[in-house]
Amino acid sequence: MRKLRRALSMTLLLCLLFSPLFSGSKSKNIMLLFDIKYYSHEIDNTVDLFFKKMISPGDQLIIMTPARKMLSYSSKTIAESPQKVNREIKDTLKKHTSVTSSDYTTIYNQMLTIVNDISYGTGLEDAKNLIAAYENNRRELRNTRRINQDLLLQLSDIFKRSREITGDTDNRIYLFFQREIRPIPDKETMNRMREATELAFDATRVFLEEKLEPDFNTDVITEEFKNAGVTFNFVYINLKESLTQRYQLVDNSGDFYSAMSVIAQKTGGKTVTTNQPGTIFEDK
């Protein structure tokens, strides 16, 4: 984490130090953070709309890919070849998403196997073991997230330092997060487990209850972002789901949505839930 912090600091500060200063409207320091599991044409459209609607002369840009790698672009670099920068961002996002999505896919498939085994009928002890394994998978699924409190606080520190160089700039973060989903047994199987005294409590808790403990102190993060002059925007990408009767699909990231939307609201940013993430840039 310390290495990431140093890399982030150097990335942004170098980007700013070697950028020409522009008069007129306030320049923007923009970060686009991508925590996505699947790359789609809509991500391409998002990058295209960003360059069409958002970038202005004097703006600096940093991208964080799903692999938590940083790409930095000074205003000079963007002005010289916006098409090249656009293409590089999309190619890198696609490559890094392909590499990092395997963990999420592996855990999801393990959960689906457990759900199928329970649905097809198992003994009491087997069912207890499967429920325990599923609970562990839920924790692992959450651990695949690339965004955590430490990272957000590090970003606020970096923007504070950048203000010492550039003065009063328009600092913006846009976080693109694809909704996590997980499979659970079909309604008939859930009803059967809840009728079994030995399974009812654990089955309800593990399959149906959302996590309540917060991973983010939204008050602390909000205060730090405000001190750094950062407007935080959150795009919750809601992918289309295929329907099936063999199992149900439920949201596994409601806790993350709640925390990020609070931070966005308190810093003057926007929260958008959509399957077309580029719409965040339609209204500057």
Please say if the pLDDT value at position 129 is more than 80: yes
pLDDT band at 156 (very low <50, low <70, confident <90, very high): very high
Range 17-32 average pLDDT: 65
Contacts of 226 (CB under 8 A, 6+ apart): 266, 267
Position 33 pLDDT exceeds 80: yes
In the structure, what pLDDT confidence band is assigned to residue 20 with cuts at 50, 70 and 90? very low
pLDDT of residue 148: 94
pLDDT in tens, 76-118: 999 999 999 999 999 999 999 998 899 999 999 999 999 999 9
Chain-centroid distance of CA 78 in Å reads 25
For residues 219 and 147, is the Cβ–Cβ distance under 8 A? no
pLDDT averaged over every residue in the chain: 87
How do strand 247-251 and strand 230-237 relate by DSSP bridges?
unpaired
Reply yes or no on whether the pLDDT at 169 is more than 90. no
The stretch 151-176 carries a mean pLDDT of 87
Q: Where residue 275 falls among pLDDT bands split at 50, 70, 90? A: very high
- The answer to whether 186 and 247 are in contact (CB under 8 A) is yes
- Whole-model pTM? 0.88
Beta strands in the chain (DSSP E): 28-35, 60-64, 70-73, 170-178, 181-185, 230-237, 247-251, 271-274
> Exposure pattern of 42-52 as b/e (b: 16+ CB <10 Å)?
bbbebbebbbe
Q: What percent of the chain has pLDDT over 90?
A: 68
Count of residues in the chain: 284
The pLDDT score that the predictor gives to residue 21 is: 45
Lowest mean pLDDT among 50-59, 139-148, 180-189, 203-212: 203-212
**CA-based torsion, 254, 96, 278, 4: positive or negative:** positive
Structure tokens at 179: 């909704």
In the structure, what pLDDT confidence band is assigned to residue 219 with cuts at 50, 70 and 90? very high
Query: pLDDT tier at 120 (50, 70, 90 boundaries)?
Result: confident
- CA-nearest of 87, 84, 82, 25 to 58 is 25
Does residue 17 surpass a pLDDT of 60? no
Confidence band for 144, pLDDT divided at 50, 70 and 90:
very high
